[in-house]
A and B are shown apart, each in its own frame.
Chain A
Amino acid sequence: GSGGFRKRKHDNFPHGQRREEKENVNPSSALMTSFKSFQLELDTRHDKYERLVKLSRDITIESKRTIFLLHRFTSAPNGEEILNESEVKLDAVRRKIKQVAEELIGEDMYQFHRAISPGLQEYVEAVSFQYFIKTRSLISVDEINKQLIFTAEDREDTKNTTSDCQDNQPRSWSLKVTPVDYLLGVADLTGELMRLCISSVGNGDIDTPFELSQFLRQIYDGFTFIGNTGPYEVSKKLYTLKQSLAKVENACYTLKVRGSEIPKHMLADVFSTKTELIDQDEGLP
């Protein structure tokens, strides 16, 4: 909208005078020189931010795909294969995170935190989901961060992509998932676990739902313990978490009540209709 304004300005000022004023500004004055350096500094900062946003998006996409892959775990007979494949995928994600870490060498991580936070949360979700499937327990922040320490040795393969990374870098560097990113990731995990529960019932697996409801209840207790000490986003997720927990608990209830009445081979039918119902009123991805 500066066009209209400019026109008005020209109404007030004869063209000649305006031009003369512009020429008065010496392009090599101290002020102009310092603004030139500001331009450089701001551009560098914005470029870095954009690169990080892009990396974060890639991390999000790959993590989501890993989660979808892991959902196939229960139904597939070749569970090992799927776990291995997910490990390969997560390695790829970690390579991306390594690029993020490289971008952040010598920087204040919190300055660019908003650019990478969504990706990190999704990664936490994927990695904790895989960990749960493998060990039936919750991965800790420290364990996640342990996998995000990168050393110079395995830098060869990424050397081409990180041309701005020179030899004077430290030999190893790391990226730390913040407690808040971790919490938000874990809150998302519970949505995935709810889906896992419902689909495992569909597959005739009667033990998993009970195990899951136990696990979800622990997480829910944890979140209630944190309560409003955490940031606003965490309390927001608490509501969705409650819904997920309710669904899983209801599923367990149905299994308990009707499990003794219905012959085992028909359970799948009972829940496949139930699953549809749940999916319909469910806005989660």
Chain B
Amino acid sequence: MSVSAMFAALQGALGQDQDIREVPGTGGDGRGTGRDGADGALCPQEIRKVVQALEQTAREMLTLLQGVHQGPGFQHIPKKCQKAREHFSTVRTQMESLKTKFPADQYYRFHEHWRFVLQRLVFLAAFVVYLESETLVTREAVAEILGIEADRERGFHLDIEDYLSGILTLASELARLAVNSVTAGDYSRPLRISAFINELDSGFRLLNLKNDSLRKRYDGLKYDVKKIEEVVYDLSIRGLNKEATVGAGGEN
């Protein structure tokens, strides 16, 4: 084969890649999720398009769930969760279409493109599940909610690091929720959140994280723990936690 024929073939392969990912290969580690804006200038195609739709759905859900932080929002938690669940069916359809945009065995080749949005969706699913049942959503359950697989062997799956990142976002959201629930007069919730976050913290302590983005986010967890402990402390020196335990006694 002549040199020019070889390069023509290579160019063909690279061009195909570009069709799939819509942006030229970045080769970077993709940690910077903020680069999405810069990529937008290039020709719109396959993966990117679906991911943008997913991002849109995720934003809508986030707006919806942010309502729980406002005073009257606490009464409407079940309703908001139900609404969010409806959005997840849109997510599942969009995920289905994303799956068809690239060869099934090349997940990690294009991973960076949906990594950010997938982490956010994990967070949203975990938040909904927490508001409903005050438990940590399992990896399998998230996968099911999003309409993807938990195992790599079975197709488009949820990478463990993405799952853990989403859970860490949940922790900071709960720290905020603890503060706001006190403002709204719900004194028992911070205690329950505190127990939950402590367990989560112990869980993360078991992991040996490498010096990567997940580790960086894990380093933020201690500030969430601290924030919640401060809320609990404020409640307990004022005797507000007693009242709360009496009130919430039945639930524990």
Interface, chain A (partner B; CB < 8 A): 2, 5, 9, 12-13, 21-22, 24-26, 29-32, 34-36, 38-39, 41-43, 45-46, 108-111, 113-114, 137-138, 140-141, 179-180, 182-183, 215, 218-219, 221-223, 225-226, 228-233
Separation of A147 and B14 alpha carbons in the complex (Å): 23
In-complex Cβ contact of B208 among A39, A110, A232 (8 A): A39
Q: How far is the CB of B15 from chain A (nearest CB, A)?
A: 6
A219 touches B160 (CB 8 A): no
A114: chain B residues within 8 A (beta carbon): 29
Whether A9 and B229, one on each chain, are in contact in the complex, defined by CB atoms closer than 8 angstroms, is: yes
| Other-chain contact of A222, B7, B198, B203 (Cβ < 8 Å) | B7
- Picked from B7, B198, B200, B230, the residue with its CB within 8 Å of the CB of A223 is B7
21 residue pairs A–B, Cβ–Cβ below 8 Å: A30-B138, A31-B200, A32-B202, A34-B203, A35-B204, A38-B164, A42-B209, A108-B109, A110-B109, A111-B108, A140-B6, A141-B6, A180-B25, A183-B10, A218-B4, A222-B3, A226-B10, A228-B24, A229-B11, A230-B24, A231-B27
B149 to chain A, nearest CB (A): 13
Residues of B within 8 A of A (CB): 1-4, 6-8, 10-11, 13-15, 18, 24-27, 29, 105-109, 111, 135-136, 138-139, 152, 160-161, 164, 194-195, 198-200, 202-204, 206-210, 222, 226, 229-230, 233
CB distance from A212 to the nearest CB of B (A): 13
Interface centre among B26, B27, B105 (most CB of A within 10 A): B27
What residue in chain B is nearest A117 (Cβ atoms)? B27
Q: How far is the CA of A137 from the CA of B4 in the complex (A)?
A: 12
Q: Given that A24-B195, A225-B11 are contacting pairs, would A110 and B200 also be in contact in the complex, using a CB cutoff of 8 Å?
A: no
CB contact under 8 A between A31 and B3, given known A179-B10, A231-B25: no
Task: Note all chain B residues with C-beta closer than 8 A to A183.
Answer: 10
The listed residue with most A CB atoms (<10 A of its CB), out of B7, B24, B106, B108, is: B7
Check A225 against B4 for contact (C-beta < 8 Å).
yes
When the two chains form their complex, are residues A43 and B222 in contact, meaning their CB atoms are under 8 A apart? Answer: no
Interchain CB contact under 8 A, B18 and A222: no
Known: A42-B160, A108-B105, A140-B6. A31 touches B203 (CB 8 A): yes
CB distance from A55 to the nearest CB of B (A): 18
With the chains together, A252 CA to B188 CA distance in Å?
84
| Chain B residues within 8 Å of A218, by CB | 2-4
A226 to B: closest C-beta gap in Å? 5
* A38-B10 in contact (CB<8A): no
| Complex CA–CA separation, A137 to B222 (angstroms) | 60
Write out the residue numbers on chain A whose beta carbons fall within 8 Å of the beta carbon of B204. 35
Contact pick for B206, options A9, A35, A228, CB 8 Å: A35
Q: How far is the CB of B14 from chain A (nearest CB, A)?
A: 5
Asked whether A43 and B108 contact (CB < 8 A) given A2-B222, A38-B164, the answer is no
B206 lies within 8 A of A230 (CB): no
What residues of chain B lie closer than 8 Å to A43, measured between beta carbons? 208
Cβ A38 vs Cβ B14 within 8 A:
no
The residue on A at minimum CB distance from B140 is A34
A30 CA / B199 CA spacing, docked (Å):
10
A179-B13, A225-B7 in contact; A108/B202 too (CB < 8 A)?
Answer: no
Contact B27 A232, beta carbon cutoff 8 Å: yes
Contacts A140-B1, A218-B4 given; does A42 touch B208 at CB 8 Å: yes
- Residues of chain B within 8 A of A24, CB atoms compared: 195, 198
Chain B residues lying within 8 Å of A223, measured Cβ to Cβ, are: 7
Q: Give the distance in Å from the alpha carbon of A138 to the alpha carbon of B210 in the complex.
A: 40
Q: Give the residues in chain B near A34, CB-CB below 8 Å.
A: 138-139, 203
Question: A86 → chain B, closest Cβ, in Å?
Answer: 22
Determine the chain A residues whose CB is within 8 A of the CB of B233 once the complex forms: 12-13
CB distance from A110 to the nearest CB of B (A): 4
Name 10 extra pairs, CB < 8 A, besides A24-B195, A34-B203, A231-B25: A22-B202, A30-B135, A31-B200, A32-B206, A35-B207, A42-B209, A110-B107, A180-B14, A183-B10, A231-B27
